[in-house]
Amino acid sequence: MARRLLIPIGPQHPALKEPMGLRFRVEGERVLETHIRMGYVHRGIEQACQERTYIQALYLIERVCGICSHIHTTTFCQGVEELLGVEVPRRALYIRTIVCELERIHSHLLWLGVIGRDAGFETLFMYTWRDRETALDILEEISGNRINYAVNTIGGVRIDLTPTQIEGILERLDYLEEQARYYLELVTSEPTFVARTKGVGYLSQEDGRALCVVGPTTRASGVDRDVRRDDPYAAYEEIPFQVVTATEGDALARTVVRVKEIAESVRMVRYALQNLPGGEVRTKVRRRVPPGEVISRVEAPRGELIYYIKGDGTERPARVKIRTPTMANLVAIPHMLRDAHIADIPIIVAAIDV
Amino acid sequence: MSAEALVRKLKKALGEHIGEAWVPRPHRAFFTVRREELHDVVEALVNRFDIKHLSTITGVDTGQEIELLYHFWDHDVCFTVKITLPRDEPRIKTLTDIVPGALLYEREVHELLGVEFEGHPDPSPLVLPEGWAEGHPLLKDWSPPEEG
């Protein structure tokens, strides 16, 4: 029998993008058990929000996630707007949605590069990160920033789109759609990529549901769930789209779902731009928020993102609770790694898009 | 199914276990449950109604007591089961035996608000820094340790 060993990786380790403590109990090349410890970069944002006004907290919330900043402010703003009882202009809701989907496009392209690199397909990383620049250029053009766009504010958005900008975005969307088609063909036909991902990190539909996994990770296991359709927010009720699912439940299926979602997002942005309502982009809101509690939910690139916000009639929130999709998906990692090969650890961990 | 219909269905089936119930807007429902009955209610949700998705657990220190809000996702409704725990004895039976997805959420609430989840298989620290010994930062009477 092979020897049993305990392999610690992190919290500081060259292969990790952010600090995380992983301990693997292995026997030979097989993983028996995984233990995860987070907390090396816990910033106490929930607590810090309670010591700030709503608008100050917004700046902090823009920085919860380094990739999907806009989805967090969307969740927070729409929650506070519900507490305030204000109606946000339709044009603002459309612009919010457009930025949400552009963000999903660049987030998924970033991920596709990461999984490509982890699977030994460096060219895919080069290609997708080049194409991601197209989405980032659009975001920079309309907001002035590549990542923390600061588009949202309580009561609407801080930017408007000009007809020239819209035309320019539409042109580049065609390129992104074409590339999404190409990547779908590539990831399903490139023999080495398929060999590294097919059957790897399997999660059954039943386990996905029991572990309360979210987003593309669970949709790739056949769980047909998407907040944009099931609990529509912003302008999603008016924009046609398909929820992408797969049944294989492995790293390849997670890749296919995300690539198809890129194409779906491109079409949503196009539709929203072509059907952009006129009018104002924000309404003025009071600084004091009445007492009450709301649950605000969205579909972030990584899955369901949920905020609980409690107001007590002052200018500061009494409680802000944030549950990011990665927190929901982490619980599946030890499960997916059971009996896996050590060499597949990076792919399985990356496949939930940590 | 609308939020109202879901509340009606659950009230009919679990009547005596459900305290107050309200629907603040479409897609949202809340109901209160006595803490001793939480485990049985959630067991019924999972086994009889196939509601398995726990989105998260929110802990709130109101100053008088600790509220725990269990947010579930059933098709197009996000509904919340609310319980309250006394501040001097914040204990509740773990749900991890029926909802494996609660594993990390209970650990987080345990660390940040000091709630004990009886029977949790691994209540080890999760989110706070290693060697943290300064109490539970989301409690109202917590203050940051002096620097230096």
A308 contact B CB<8A: yes
Most A CBs within 10 Å, among B78, B96, B97, B113, to test the A interface: B78
Query: Prior bond to A11 cis, omega within 30?
Result: yes
In chain B, the percentage of residues whose pLDDT exceeds 90 is 85
DSSP state of B34: -
- B75, B102, B124 member nearest A230 (Cβ): B75
Determine the angle formed by the axes of helices A69-84 and A90-118, rounding to 10 degrees: 150
pLDDT tens figures, A164-188: 999 999 999 999 999 999 999 999 9
The yes-or-no verdict on residue A345 having pLDDT over 80 is yes
pLDDT tens figures, A191-218: 999 999 999 999 999 999 999 999 999 9
Neighbours of B20 (CB within 10 A): 9
pLDDT tens figures, A242-298: 999 999 999 999 999 999 999 999 999 999 999 999 999 999 999 999 999 999 999
* B16 confidence band (pLDDT: 50, 70, 90): confident
Contacts of B95 in chain A (CB under 8 A): none
Average pLDDT, integer, range B73-94: 96
CB A128 within 8 A of CB A110: yes
Chain A and chain B share a number of CB contacts under 8 A equal to 88
Most B CBs within 10 Å, among A25, A321, A330, A333, to test the B interface: A321
Task: Round to whole Å and give the CA distance between A84 and A288.
Answer: 9
Interface contact B80-A295, CB threshold 8 A: yes
Domains and CATH numbers, chain B: 3-88 (3.30.460.80)
Taking domain A44-331, whether its CATH number is 3.30.230.10 is answered by no
How would you class B124 by CB atoms within 10 Å of its CB: exposed for 0-12, middle for 13-18, buried for 19 or more?
A: exposed
The yes-or-no verdict on residue B15 having pLDDT over 90 is no
The yes-or-no verdict on residue B23 having pLDDT over 90 is yes
Bridging pattern class, strands B77-86 and B28-33: parallel
A213 contact B CB<8A: yes
Interface of A with B in 22-51 (CB under 8 A): 37-40, 42, 44, 46-47
Task: Round to whole Å and give the CA distance between A280 and A90.
Answer: 8
pLDDT at residue number A17:
80
In angstroms, what CA-CA distances link A80 with A68, A99, A157?
19, 19, 14
Contacts of A295 in chain B (CB under 8 A): 28, 71, 78, 80
The amino acid occupying position A17 is: K
Interface contact B28-A295, CB threshold 8 A: yes
The yes-or-no verdict on residue A16 having pLDDT over 90 is no
Average pLDDT, integer, range B101-121: 96
Interface contact B52-A323, CB threshold 8 A: no
Most A CBs within 10 Å, among B127, B130, B132, to test the A interface: B127
pLDDT at residue number B148:
62
Show the tokens assigned to A148: 């923390």
The yes-or-no verdict on residue B129 having pLDDT over 90 is no
pLDDT at residue number A3:
87
For residue B111, give how far its alpha carbon lies from the nearest alpha carbon of chain A (Å).
11
pLDDT tens figures, A55-113: 999 999 999 999 999 999 999 999 999 999 999 999 999 999 999 999 999 999 999 99
In chain A, the percentage of residues whose pLDDT exceeds 90 is 93
Spacing of C-alpha A131 from chain mean position: 18
Interface contact B78-A331, CB threshold 8 A: no
- Residue in chain A lying closest to B136 (CA): A47
Spacing of C-alpha A127 from chain mean position: 21
* A121 confidence band (pLDDT: 50, 70, 90): very high
The complex's ipTM works out to 0.96
Interface contact A209-B124, CB threshold 8 A: no
Interface contact A40-B129, CB threshold 8 A: yes
* B131 confidence band (pLDDT: 50, 70, 90): confident
Most B CBs within 10 Å, among A42, A233, A305, to test the B interface: A42
A328 contact B CB<8A: yes
Interface contact A37-B105, CB threshold 8 A: no
Average pLDDT, integer, range A311-321: 97
* A354 confidence band (pLDDT: 50, 70, 90): confident
Task: Round to whole Å and give the CA distance between B86 and B68.
Answer: 11
Using a cut of 0.95, tell me whether the model's pTM lies above it.
yes
Sign of CA pseudo-dihedral A37, B115, B104, B77: negative
- A225, A304, A331 member nearest B104 (Cβ): A331
Task: Round to whole Å and give the CA distance between A349 and A204.
Answer: 16
Buried b / exposed e over A52-89, threshold 16 CB at 10 Å, is bebeebbebbbebbeebbbbbbbbbbbbbbbbbeeebb
How would you class A180 by CB atoms within 10 Å of its CB: exposed for 0-12, middle for 13-18, buried for 19 or more?
A: buried
3-state secondary structure chain A: CCCEEEEEECCCCCCCCCCCEEEEEEECCEEEEEEEECCCCCCCHHHHHCCCCHHHHHHHHCCCCCCCHHHHHHHHHHHHHHHHCCCCCHHHHHHHHHHHHHHHHHHHHHHHHHHHHHCCCHHHHHHHHHHHHHHHHHHHHHHCCCCCCCCEECCEECCCCCHHHHHHHHHHHHHHHHHHHHHHHHHHHCHHHHHHHCCCCCCCHHHHHHCCCCHHHHHCCCCCCCHHHHCCCCCHHHCCCCCCCCCCCCHHHHHHHHHHHHHHHHHHHHHHHHCCCCCCCECCCCCCCCCEEEEEEEEECCEEEEEEEEECCCCCEEEEEEECHHHHHHCHHHHHHCCCEHHHHHHHHHCCCC
pLDDT tens figures, A144-162: 999 999 999 999 999 999 9
